[in-house]
Amino acid sequence: MIEKTTQSVANLGYHAHIYYDPTRTRAVAERVCAAIGEKFRVEIDGFRDTPVGPHPIANVLVIFKPEQFEHVVPYLMLNRAGLDVLVHPLTNDAVEDHSSYAIWLGNPVELKLHTLPRGRGGRLPSGVSAQAPGLTPAGGSALTPARKGLAGSRALGLRHDFGRAIAAFA
């Protein structure tokens, strides 16, 4: 029997954050990412060697669309090379995305959820618009440090996100 939740949650994509140690396991993370990038339609959004946003340790961000979930996540389950991985959706509540909606491969890492907005946060897959039904703009909370990183990051062909560059590292 299929039960429906009273209110479905719109989701625009997923992030896989692959955690690593900058001195010990960065090369491992690079290999894992290279393999994912070859096999699947994902975007590798770069290696962050220092804590950023809600993430207390270094991680590399892999962004993908909902239809890629069934391919990317089972692969990562078996091929994460001992690294811990957070997979979270991209709904209109970044706090929930990183807590109750999230799944972990390996050991969970305690996240700094207070850095996240109760609204949309995190970079969307290329070509995906945040204007989908049920997704309202985030409340413009003070997360401007994310903009610095946006300016410095490699162009991914992402459309300008109507100022919602907030929590770009989420």
Please report how close the Cβ of residue 2 comes to Zn ion at its closest, in angstroms: 29
Q: Which is nearer to Zn ion, 40 or 122 (CB)?
A: 122
Q: Please, which residue, 40 or 55, has the CB nearer to Zn ion?
A: 55
Contacting Zn ion (CB under 5 A), which of 12, 13, 15, 59?
15
Residue of minimal Cβ distance to Zn ion: 15
CB atoms within 10 A of CB 51: 13
CA distance 25 to 12: 30
Which ranges of the chain would DSSP assign to H, the alpha helix? 26-39, 69-79, 94-97, 145-152
Q: Which stretch binds Zn ion (CB under 5 A): 10-18, 67-75, 124-132, 135-143?
A: 10-18
Cα–Cα distance between 135 and 131 in angstroms, integer? 6
Where in 151-170 is the site for Zn ion (CB under 5 A)?
170
Of the two residues 3 and 110, which places its CB atom closer to Zn ion in the complex?
A: 110
| Percent of residues in the chain assigned helix, strand, coil, to nearest 5 | 25, 15, 60
Q: Give the burial class of 5: count Cβ atoms within 10 A of its Cβ; 0-12 exposed, 13-18 middle, 19 or more buried.
A: exposed
State the burial class of residue 76 (Cβ atoms within 10 Å of its Cβ: 0-12, 13-18, 19+): buried
Give least dist CB 123 to Zn ion, A.
8
With CB under 5 A as the rule, give the number of residues binding Zn ion: 3
Nearer to Zn ion, 98 or 133 (CB): 98
Q: Which x/- pattern over 98-137 shows residues binding Zn ion (rule: CB under 5 A)? A: ------------------------x---------------
Listed in sequence order, the residues at least 6 apart from 137 whose beta carbon sits closer than 8 Å to its beta carbon are: 119, 120, 130, 162, 164
Nearer to Zn ion, 119 or 122 (CB): 122
- State the nearest-atom distance from the C-beta of 88 to Zn ion, in Å: 6
Interface contacts to Zn ion, rule CB under 5 A: 15, 122, 170
